[in-house]
Amino acid sequence: MNGKTLVVLAVVAAVLLPMWFVALHGEPPSEEVAIDQSVSEIQPLAGPLDTPNKLLPSQVGVIVWIALFALLGVLVAAHRFMNRAVRPPDAPEGSAVTRSDGGRIGWSWTDTDDRWVVDFDPATESIEGLAAMGGLTVLAIVFAALFIGEYLTLARTQYFGLYAAGMFLSLAFLTVAYYAWFLPHVRVAERRGHES
């Protein structure tokens, strides 16, 4: 782990630890409210994790901060994956597809006087990408079916969250996989004038 990552983690901990300390000293947890099972079979409080019945606003704030930092980490990982994992390494200087000196590839239909393409990597369109997209599509369909099944049966709140998160993450990773394996990578140079 490099120094920059440690600094970021230290700043995050310095913000979250005092917030969590304050959040722990709130009002006592409320009593559980249960549904009369003789009237309805839904079980909204059932779930795979034992969680409190009530959260204070300060506790919710800490959880939201943690979720946002986790989301930032997922976005950074996805961006790095898209740019490094399946893209070919940089072509040597002067190759047919790269002009590192700012030269033009020569596409008259895309170039203008002030903007031109200097680097183009075609999409890999590999079988791995197709398998990843197929698997993620199936996963999104499974989570959607589980979500609908939960809605029509026990209506457990925690499972709603798990299934919705799985469905949306599968769709997000499907987009990442499409970008990584099936879109070309184009780098454009632009001349910018500084008018006085």
Please check the confidence at residue 96 and state whether its pLDDT lies above 50.
Answer: no
Asked whether the beta carbons of 52 and 29 are under 8 A apart, the reply is yes
The 10s digit of each residue's pLDDT in 125-148 is 889 999 999 999 999 999 999 999
Q: Name the pTM for this structure.
A: 0.66
- Sequence-separated (6 or more) residues with CB below 8 Å from residue 155: 42, 43, 44
Distance CA 19, CA 5 (A): 21
Please report which confidence band the pLDDT of residue 106 belongs to, taking 50, 70 and 90 as the band edges.
low
